[in-house]
Amino acid sequence: MALLSIITPCYNEEETVDYFYDEVHKAILKLDTDYEIIFVNDGSKDKTLEKCLELKKLDNKIKIINFSRNFGKEAAMLAGMREAKGDYVVIMDTDLQDPPALLPEMMTYVENGGYDSVATYRVSRKGEPPIRSFFARMFYKLINKMIDVEIVDGARDYRLMNRNMVDAVLKLGEYHRFSKGIFAWVGFKTKYLEYENVERVAGETKWSFWKLFKYAIDGIVGFTTVPLRLATIAGALVSSFGFIYMLYIVVKALFFGDPVAGFPSLIVIITLLGGIQLLFLGIIGEYLAKTYMESKKRPIYIVKEIL
Ligand code: UDP
Ligand code: MG
């Protein structure tokens, strides 16, 4: 019998772990696979760990990875994948925004449909603040223009993979992880399932706007160096413009005199150039900082205990 590993990263999910277990259990009963459920407790400050331990008493197929502090969802997903023994691995949010009811359908695609992976995306973003949806859409447009592989707009981390694909994902050991990009980058035959956005059963989202913004930058910097090339292109454009403008000034001064006029244009040019330079210094800085962090080779997370 095949083994299915279900990984769920939890950070302050005391209100949702019970619902999660119930729903997942119901879905598993419809499959004829063996299973393990891996709760990755990402440094929760509430009773998440206690809740998971209680569940573990009921079901010995539950495993708990307890982090020494909060390392973020990406680290938690990685820890889960490293620990998973399954022939198939699925990653799911604890808040039931990734409906476990889809599991049987997903399994048929990887078991009999010839797919290596089944991914999901939301067709709507109902229940999400409009401004957040707007920036999310912009992000997908922007990143897809720059990278070689495609990240589907609204793609979730909810994904079922076979062993082959999980092993490929595990080979990418980068510190700044952006799973949506990693899953697309490793390739493999993927079936996309769509579903309507579901709101979380309880509790609150752990992602502030700022955290998402930083995550978006991680995604771009982690998967493309196009922004660096933009610096080169902008530099070439601005210097050509400067050269033409210089010719114009020389001709104007020769034929019409009046060398003093043009103070406002001077200010405009200085601020414009200063701005562009700072912007690109910042972009270069982003890449440098990422390189610096990678070069330290720090572990991505620290496990306190595995139960
Ligand atoms: N999560 C985590 N570590 C974090 C933040 C979130 O493990 O630092 C988990 C969280 O417990 C949940 C999943 O990641 O299972 C998705 O988080 P959330 O529902 O807050 O994000 P949203 O669905 O709003 O994007
Ligand atoms: Mg959620």
Q: Are strands 3-10 and 34-41 parallel, antiparallel or unpaired?
A: parallel
What pLDDT sits at residue 259?
62
What pLDDT sits at residue 260?
66
Tokens of 252: 């104007």
Looking at all shown ligands, the one closest to residue 17's CA atom is 1
What pLDDT sits at residue 7?
96
Q: Could you say which residues of the chain have pLDDT below 50?
A: none
Please write the tens of the pLDDT for every residue from 199-216.
888 878 888 888 888 888
Please write the tens of the pLDDT for every residue from 263-276.
777 877 888 888 88
Whether 9 is in the pocket of ligand 1, judged by its Cβ within 6 Å, is yes
Alpha carbons 166 and 218: distance in angstroms, whole number: 21
Pocket test for ligand 1, best of 120, 206, 214 (most atoms within 8 A of CB): 206
Task: Specify the DSSP class assigned to residue 8.
Answer: E
CB 159 within 8 A of CB 118: yes
Q: How far is CA 204 from CA 5, 40, 47, 83, 95, in A?
A: 26, 18, 15, 27, 9
What pLDDT sits at residue 258?
67
What pLDDT sits at residue 40?
96
Pocket test for ligand 1, best of 65, 69, 73, 97 (most atoms within 8 A of CB): 73
Point out which residues pair with 161 in neighbouring strands: 89, 117
Entry pTM = 0.83
For the chain, what are the domain ranges?
3-207+300-306, 226-296
Whether 72 is in the pocket of ligand 1, judged by its Cβ within 6 Å, is yes
CB 183 within 8 A of CB 169: yes
At the topology level of CATH, where does 3-207+300-306 sit?
Answer: Spore Coat Polysaccharide Biosynthesis Protein SpsA; Chain A (3.90.550)
Whether 97 is in the pocket of ligand 1, judged by its Cβ within 6 Å, is yes
Alpha carbons 121 and 119: distance in angstroms, whole number: 7
Phi-psi region of 112 (alpha: psi -120 to 50; beta: other; left: phi over 0): alpha
Whether 200 is in the pocket of ligand 1, judged by its Cβ within 6 Å, is yes
